[in-house]
Structure 1
Amino acid sequence: MAATFRLLILLLIVVVPPFVRAARDADAVVSRIAFGSCANQSAPQPIWDAVVAFDPQVFVWLGDNVYGDNKRPFRVFGKERTVGPWKNVPRFYPSTEQELRRRYQLAKAKPGYASLRERAQVIGTWDDHDYGLNDAGKEFSGKVFTQRLLLDFLDEAEDSKRRKQAGVYTSHMFGPEGKRVKVILLDTRYHRDPLLSDGTILGDPQWQWLERELHGPQSEITVIGSSIQRNGVIFVSGDVHFGEIARFDCGVQYPLYDVTSSGLTQSVDNSVPIVFQPIMRLLAVLAPTTMRVLNPNCLYKSCTTGQPNFGAIEIDWNALPPRIKLELRDVEGRSVHSVEFPISELQPSGALAMKKQEHAFQRHCTLETELPWLTQYWLALLFFGTIAVFIIAVVLLAITCLSSILTCSKKTKKE
């Protein structure tokens, strides 16, 4: 499932019949949850005004809550070569404990975020940049002090079990019986084996903890190879610097939604000059995907955005039946993508179950890796083909110009 939804960071929201999650008062009914990731502490963060205006009872950090590592310039040649065949130094390197603490303090002092902390309960996990180093796993030597600094940033109690364990995974249960929400925050860094290995992401202790968590309050969904049944699972994730709402219908007997919110400051569109942003949006819409939701409530009917964004979950407990709304909102607080449906849709049902058919394309069921090769890579082929044609055209133009110059030169000499 992680591969299907590209969940580099997973927040598993488990709904005990029907679905809820509360803030500081564990028995309070929660109807609004916001979440986000990828917030550069050195960049302006106007999006907090929109988050505060949404008035969430809980805000969930999904990682890259600060950018705690450092990046050397992109260099192929020179004394410090960070890319290419002659690379001799890593492009990313960690900060000192003092510097990382300063960056957390800078993030915590942002006026908009300070206002949010006064209104909502803030919980969260981390990803690589706040863990301490880009793409780092269990081999990172600074993880003990970076864990302490993250928990300080999240105002974790000094006597919290989370401060004594190896890793920042945790769970929260909110709301009264009948309107409870359990939030399981996974740590995909502290115990992760090296990339491209056949090792683990969570590590044995976290897997064992997760199994115990899934044997908690009665529910009706099978999660991560467990035989325990739970109601209403929704995945939310971050990391990738774009937002998307995806759906998978062939996992369990109801639709599985994944809302990716990334980032609060870092985004694909803002990484390129403004004149190229429409091209980036067009490519995002045209990119082959089998899981992305296509919905009239989404901009351009395709639920993906490259602009700064935050995620929102809104629950209407007064509706009959109760309804849930999943959204991505922009820096102005406008809903750019949303899906809404009855909570009962997140219950196992033979009527909603889809069976995967061999050798047949099924939207929200066929994996992207199962698409024909040409379908998977046609955009890449078009992109690199265009570059190749452009280079060939430039070379031919240069040859033509040089040939003309030589011809004119010869004629001049003859005259």
Structure 2
Amino acid sequence: MKKYLIALVFSFLFIGTYSQSELLQSGPMVGYSDYREVLIWVQTKAEADVKIEYMAEGESGKFTPTYHTTSNNDFIAKLFPTEVEYGKNYTYKLYINDIYVPRDYKLEFQTQTLWQWRTDPPDFSFAIGSCFYANEPKDDRPGTPYGAGYEIFNSILSKDPDLMVWLGDNTYLREPDFLTERGIRHRYKHARSTSELQPLLGSVHHYATWDDHDYGPNDADASYANKKITEKAFNDYWGNLNTDAAGVGGITSHFLWNDVEFFMMDDRYHRDPNRKLTQDKAYLGDAQLDWLIRALTASKATFKVVCIGGQTISNAAVYENYATYTEERQELLKRLHEEKIQGVIFMSGDRHHTEISKMERFNAYPLIDITCSPLTSGIHNPRDEGNTNQVKGKTFYKRNFGIVNVSGPRKERRLTVTIYNTNGEKIWDYSVQVSELRYKD
């Protein structure tokens, strides 16, 4: 009888764990990290109570408050471990309806290190990538599937980055999606649920900006009628530290990681149409551009990384590059120089190829743009687009991702980006010393 009762208890426990696992749609995903809290994102398939237990090595577990998911925001829970100490690594466990839901990969997060006035900034690394297309045959266009190579997410995880910066086109809205909130949210949920993506979500902190495909239709601009809906969906599905930093709508945000500050710009919400014939077309728009210059001027970061969905430093006026918005791009470059803002480096996606652009300037340090694209979406053959700022030998025309390492003493910091193919094999690297991004006295 005793053996029967023990077996019965274990049977109930097994059934309970299995049934709660079936309730999990996607995640957990680690969002932003700060000194005193982090964000953990989870999505269920139906209403459920969700919480996280977290613990540092040698410490007992602590629980976040329970969050009850509802259909109002696609059954998404955002959980905030707050009983944490800075500069520590934590493991965590997921509970749905008070039952532990194990994952077969690591679940970890870290808090920011308090290094200021104490030590040199810690070395760290972050992944970059853009253009993630997850196939769904019933909604895709006929012919060869546009997305492939989802094992790339395992390759990214194998490089053990501290965080990942998503540079736009992080999902691809399609014809059945554009016109309704239900369509937009379906697409976000479908992409986020990609099985190969889940281990990367669970232990690497994620930050994102968008470009046209996760904002609206191809080449979408400020006229897109559903932009407030996609703004809400984007903010629901990502775990950025802040949003609408410029205060004029859109998903502009920024965050610090050690001595590097990231400025996540919105190149869609305020954008004039590509086909607008009159001059002075808006790309970021006046208010967002003003905010960026103020924020860069105020920043004391060693490297100031400006992330924009489209290329900034390429001078090829093709497709949707910033070069096709001549007046505003020139205004940005002029104001960077007038304010003598140091340490600026651009990062971008969109182009379905990877390249480095470097623009030499008179009496100023050169401006560099690291373009990294695509993760899983389509590619094109090598071609000369007329970008005379392109760094020779630093292009790649297949699916890829980048790992950026920031290392060295504070006054000798070095930023090195290494490009890898889908299988995690090194293609090339490119390095810049902080002294190369400084105005001379």
Q: Give the structure-2-normalised TM-score.
A: 0.58
Q: SS at 2:267's partner residue?
A: coil
Alignment correspondent of 1:59 = 164
Alignment correspondent of 1:108 = 192
Larger radius of gyration: 1
How big is each residue's C-alpha offset from its partner over 1:249-285, in whole Å with a ceiling of 9 and x where there is no partner? 226622322111111012324xxxxxxxxxx34xx3x
Matched, 1:144 2:228: yes
Choose which of 286, 297, 311 in structure 2 pairs with 1:215.
Answer: 297
CA shift, 1:194, in A, is 2.0
Matched, 1:347 2:438: yes
Q: SS at 2:335's partner residue?
A: coil
| 1:358-397 matches, cutoff 5 A | none
Matched, 1:337 2:423: no
Identity across the alignment (%):
29
How big is each residue's C-alpha offset from its partner over 1:385-404, in whole Å with a ceiling of 9 and x where there is no partner? xxxxxxxxxxxxxxxxxxxx
Closer/same/farther in 2, CA of residues 139 and 322 from structure 1, 3 Å limit: closer
Q: SS at 1:212's partner residue?
A: helix
Equivalent residues of 1:36, 1:309 under 8 A apart: yes
Matched, 1:293 2:391: yes
Equivalent residues of 2:261, 2:301 under 8 A apart: no
Higher helix share: 1
Unaligned runs of 5+ in 2: 1-87, 89-108, 115-121, 136-146, 305-331
Structure with the bigger RCO (C-alpha within 8 Å, sep 6+) is 1
Equivalent residues of 2:348, 2:369 under 8 A apart: yes
CA shift, 1:49, in A, is 1.1
> Which has the higher mean CA deviation after the structures are superposed, 304-313 or 207-216?
207-216
CA shift, 1:24, in A, is 5.3
| 1:60-209 matches, cutoff 5 A | 60-70=165-175, 94-156=178-240, 166-175=249-258, 180-197=259-276, 198=279, 199-209=281-291
Task: Give distance in 1, aligned partners of 2:211 and 2:153.
Answer: 20
Closer/same/farther in 2, CA of residues 194 and 112 from structure 1, 3 Å limit: same
Task: Give distance in 2, aligned partners of 1:146 and 1:264.
Answer: 22
Task: Give distance in 2, aligned partners of 1:70 and 1:200.
Answer: 26
Equivalent residues of 1:127, 1:239 under 8 A apart: yes
Task: Give distance in 2, aligned partners of 1:98 and 1:323.
Answer: 45
Choose which of 371, 376, 379 in structure 2 pairs with 1:268.
Answer: 379
Equivalent residues of 2:354, 2:395 under 8 A apart: yes
Letter in 1 for 2:225: S
Choose which of 321, 330, 345 in structure 2 pairs with 1:234.
Answer: 345
Higher strand share: 2
> Which has the higher mean CA deviation after the structures are superposed, 115-124 or 217-226?
217-226
Choose which of 205, 210, 225 in structure 1 pairs with 2:335.
Answer: 225
Q: SS at 1:32's partner residue?
A: strand
Q: Give the structure-1-normalised TM-score.
A: 0.61
Alignment correspondent of 1:310 = 401
CA shift, 1:94, in A, is 1.8
Equivalent residues of 2:123, 2:408 under 8 A apart: no
Equivalent residues of 1:219, 1:230 under 8 A apart: no
